[in-house]
Structure 1
């Protein structure tokens, strides 16, 4: 029996035939020259037109997508017409190369530069190469690389998937995703979770499997099996039955002994919000306001922002909606806010830090949020991303108050915020743990890199200790008061049912996740008492490694295997 092992990033046990992503376009010949009859200006114009066509195609796809998928496509569309890429191509054109060869070499150069910069920008190298291929295809007049067509559902296999591919997958045709590369926070992983598709990444060698091969994929454990046996068939059948029971969340997150844990949704626009409300979400724990800003060359007006935010607030009348202010920078560059020359954007001007470099952007956004809230019955909370100090928390609280917003909070995404939670909470009303970035910064491991997936997991004891310290800081700040200030989680960790139990055991007050995870998390939470959750949290904290912590907790939660989670 042939086995492969990867990183499970979205649960589900699936048997299906694979379809391999088509191989990349053939590289233009090294040194390929442009025709004698074509001038430099004509070749540059052809490049601009091809890039504009690619941008238009990706933008059209973005309009049909929602949430994170839309954000991914809009960002990729902008890359197609990025001046740095175009200027690099023109430099190669000036050496007499053909337009195809020029964009090929320019794309390779820009991608390598991003890899060398590391952090978030290293992950964007994949986007550049995808855009390069699409421009070459446009110049050749052939179809761009994409998801293969099939008359029957299949498991999609690739070395890695480009944003434009993952963002437009049809869940009616694609049973699961499997990549040889990528990491737990790659585009493949994020979109798979949003679509509810079982997925495994960083499974070396699977891109060499012949198309049509029948395989078994376990999106929780990361196991892939060829030459199936009765155990795999039984597991897939059990998952199909169990998954049907997880289709509905009753809108009441609680433990077995009645301790209530609001289960909220992470959303990226009004379409997401309506879907989350339909899935039973008890509110919004993270509204990513970037959906208003991405894909634009200029800042949206206050009126445009008000209309966009109202669409989300109207989906949750009378319920809590936590609005995160603009998290620009790093993997979400904006031409009117971010500096493309930063040597390490992950540690640069991002999130709240733009207040010092792009004056007025945050103030106008807060004004728009307040105006949208004034005409809504939703209970609007607002929080700032990338807060590092209590001083920054105080500054943000003052800005929110000036805009008329009464419930300011901050994200805990860097270790310094976790370590000083008590001081930070003396200025704001709540904090929300962004476990994706908190893990990345705590472990000094780029969250997009497959080889670092072992480090980049919120099961790391060090990360769990930072969660514990954040809750302890909140409890210390609230000591002697009638009501303590809440600590929530809005990172991907909240969507892991086993880890959700640990987070509740550590004292987290609410969990926010992709709407598709609500029913699974609710089912597992309702199977344990609060005392049992606390015992499991202590078990995880005491474990010597992330793998040991995860295994120890899962061994005490048999429902996970029963449900295939």
Structure 2
């Protein structure tokens, strides 16, 4: 069977299935009026227990895994969802039925909104199952607990489960649904677990069946000769040993330096990243510091949060992205409610429409944090789509003595990149959104997974255009989307002329080890070849043939 390969690597092991519990009934007997207030408190306690459990796990996680757990906790604490459940309980529904009914009402809204909101459906139903487990006195649902390595299969994995994977036990995973930029794929990439998504039905594979999975080509094979499978896995193990032995900084075989940076969301993640070969931070997601905050924090409070990240990389580059709220990151004080299409709505820099002072306050806080530390703070703005926006944010950032940059994630910015380069000091490509918008395809749709890979020639051509513009204007161009964490694509991006690549800190060694195996000339040859490929598969195969990197 074939799907979309998102994390290269081979594994041969028995299958273990993730089986989600049957969804609870939406209806049931009427709850006696005398029991309703107690039932409301029971629901509040159950939902808060889920939140606390998720946040506790987030503190122990890093990179995208921590982000996902934090965002899912915010969903479990969502006021509108909780109010809906409580209203149903007060109307006579038992807590489990009320939780199920309110969840499905919100699922319908999310699916109607589409885009990034639709991808939260799996998260929301996972929250439902966890809350219902507490209400019924059962353990929360989750991963199986095998005592030896397995290949994990599922229709779709809840992000919370993916964030808890132990790579020593779950040596690979495959899902019937999902896409190359889904939470499952992102976290698997961070953990270095071979991963294939959008496989379609895998119902003919039973628990315990021996399977050979290839995350590079996106295949699952069974009834394979065991000795042949083990030889392939052993060869892949040598590749992984090179990754484990790599210490940085990153250079191609012929000595071309590539700045590898970390994506972080708070001070704890920054400390963990500083202990790796990361040369700095290429994406500090400031909105993730405030997902549960109802009111805009003071400048001093923001400066304290930002200062923790800057202090972890004293004397080094830290790119601070201003609030990218909205869509799948609904920061309460900076998100427009009830948008018909949030992924194309008031998000990123557009939140100034809601609060015109928000951006200036954040810049003041970043400046205050930068002055209090010795980090080299750069400021980058998301969702810039017009030249007036770029000019305005640059003027405000420069007024505070900081470097000004923008995200290239809206096609209009990539198409007019030369004019944008004249306005800013640097740019960074957000490949997840750029791919989604260029290909007009929901990045979480399993049916559209072949469209939402950054290997699409149209996306590659735009990235090459941005890199060429950076060279012409002698201004840095980085990549901070998930494409940077793909070792093969990272080599292509270097060949295009990207100055830096930013990714989850757990992915840095794999990218660094891949770059050490190739020359800059080979990277450039691959970059030239992929933009004229017929489709995404040919682009990837062409790069692999030229570079010999998985």
Smaller-chain TM-score range? over 0.9
Moved more, 382-391 or 297-306: 297-306
Distance (whole Å) between structure 2 residues aligned to residue 188 and residue 38 of structure 1: 44
**1:310 CA displacement:** 2.8
Note closer, same or farther for the CA distance 1:52–1:283 as it changes in structure 2 (3 Å cut). Answer: closer
Of 159, 174, 198 in structure 2, the residue corresponding to residue 163 of structure 1 is 159
Matched, 1:198 2:176: no
Deviation digits for residues 486-522 of structure 1 (CA, Å, limit 9, x no counterpart)? 1111111112222222222222222222223333323
**What is the aligned partner in structure 2 of residue 481 from structure 1?**
none
**What is the aligned partner in structure 2 of residue 528 from structure 1?**
518
Secondary structure (helix, strand or coil) at the match of 1:8 reads strand
2:291/2:332 contact within 8 Å kept: no
1:181/1:204 contact within 8 Å kept: yes
**What is the aligned partner in structure 1 of residue 384 from structure 2?**
387
Deviation digits for residues 401-424 of structure 1 (CA, Å, limit 9, x no counterpart)? 23332x111110011111121221
Note closer, same or farther for the CA distance 1:55–1:528 as it changes in structure 2 (3 Å cut). Answer: closer
Distance (whole Å) between structure 2 residues aligned to residue 45 and residue 101 of structure 1: 15
Moved more, 124-133 or 73-82: 73-82
Note closer, same or farther for the CA distance 1:78–1:526 as it changes in structure 2 (3 Å cut). Answer: closer
Matched, 1:494 2:494: no
Note closer, same or farther for the CA distance 1:298–1:188 as it changes in structure 2 (3 Å cut). Answer: same
**1:39 CA displacement:** 4.6
**1:341 CA displacement:** 0.2
**What is the aligned partner in structure 2 of residue 513 from structure 1?**
503
1:338/1:349 contact within 8 Å kept: yes
Moved more, 131-140 or 507-516: 507-516
**1:234 CA displacement:** 0.9
**1:140 CA displacement:** 1.0
**1:475 CA displacement:** 4.2
2:390/2:423 contact within 8 Å kept: yes
Distance (whole Å) between structure 2 residues aligned to residue 277 and residue 41 of structure 1: 49
Moved more, 182-191 or 81-90: 81-90
**What is the aligned partner in structure 2 of residue 231 from structure 1?**
228
Moved more, 369-378 or 385-394: 369-378
Distance (whole Å) between structure 1 residues aligned to residue 56 and residue 516 of structure 2: 42
**1:26 CA displacement:** 5.0
Of 260, 264, 273 in structure 2, the residue corresponding to residue 263 of structure 1 is 260
Distance (whole Å) between structure 1 residues aligned to residue 520 and residue 162 of structure 2: 38
Distance (whole Å) between structure 2 residues aligned to residue 187 and residue 123 of structure 1: 9
Distance (whole Å) between structure 1 residues aligned to residue 77 and residue 263 of structure 2: 30
Note closer, same or farther for the CA distance 1:498–1:83 as it changes in structure 2 (3 Å cut). Answer: same
Runs (5+) with no aligned partner, structure 2: none
Distance (whole Å) between structure 2 residues aligned to residue 99 and residue 208 of structure 1: 37
Note closer, same or farther for the CA distance 1:374–1:264 as it changes in structure 2 (3 Å cut). Answer: same
Deviation digits for residues 218-260 of structure 1 (CA, Å, limit 9, x no counterpart)? 1221111222323321111111222111114342323333332
Matched, 1:403 2:400: yes
Matched, 1:287 2:277: no
**What is the aligned partner in structure 1 of residue 300 from structure 2?**
303
**What is the aligned partner in structure 2 of residue 152 from structure 1?**
148
2:63/2:505 contact within 8 Å kept: no
Question: After the TM superposition, which residues 343-492 of structure 1 pair with which residues of structure 2 at under 5 Å, given as runs?
Answer: 343-405=340-402, 407-476=403-472, 478=473, 484-492=474-482
Note closer, same or farther for the CA distance 1:164–1:527 as it changes in structure 2 (3 Å cut). Answer: closer
Matched, 1:9 2:6: yes
Moved more, 410-419 or 523-532: 523-532
Secondary structure (helix, strand or coil) at the match of 2:399 reads helix
Distance (whole Å) between structure 1 residues aligned to residue 24 and residue 150 of structure 2: 29
> TM-score, structure 1 length as denominator?
0.91
Distance (whole Å) between structure 1 residues aligned to residue 66 and residue 519 of structure 2: 39
Of 318, 321, 327 in structure 2, the residue corresponding to residue 321 of structure 1 is 318
**1:118 CA displacement:** 0.4
**What is the aligned partner in structure 1 of residue 139 from structure 2?**
143
Distance (whole Å) between structure 2 residues aligned to residue 497 and residue 56 of structure 1: 36
Moved more, 321-330 or 284-293: 284-293
Distance (whole Å) between structure 2 residues aligned to residue 363 and residue 429 of structure 1: 19
Deviation digits for residues 63-83 of structure 1 (CA, Å, limit 9, x no counterpart)? 333332222222222222323
Secondary structure (helix, strand or coil) at the match of 2:250 reads coil
Number of residue equivalences: 549
1:16/1:155 contact within 8 Å kept: yes
Distance (whole Å) between structure 2 residues aligned to residue 338 and residue 130 of structure 1: 24
Deviation digits for residues 281-317 of structure 1 (CA, Å, limit 9, x no counterpart)? 2222112222311233333333333333333223323
Deviation digits for residues 140-177 of structure 1 (CA, Å, limit 9, x no counterpart)? 11112111222223322221111221222333432222
Secondary structure (helix, strand or coil) at the match of 1:147 reads coil
Matched, 1:175 2:189: no
> TM-score, structure 2 length as denominator?
0.94
Question: After the TM superposition, which residues 79-98 of structure 1 pair with which residues of structure 2 at under 5 Å, given as runs?
Answer: 79-90=75-86, 92-93=88-89, 96-98=92-94
CA RMSD of aligned residues (A): 2.2
Runs (5+) with no aligned partner, structure 1: 479-483
Of 57, 74, 81 in structure 1, the residue corresponding to residue 70 of structure 2 is 74
**1:91 CA displacement:** 5.0
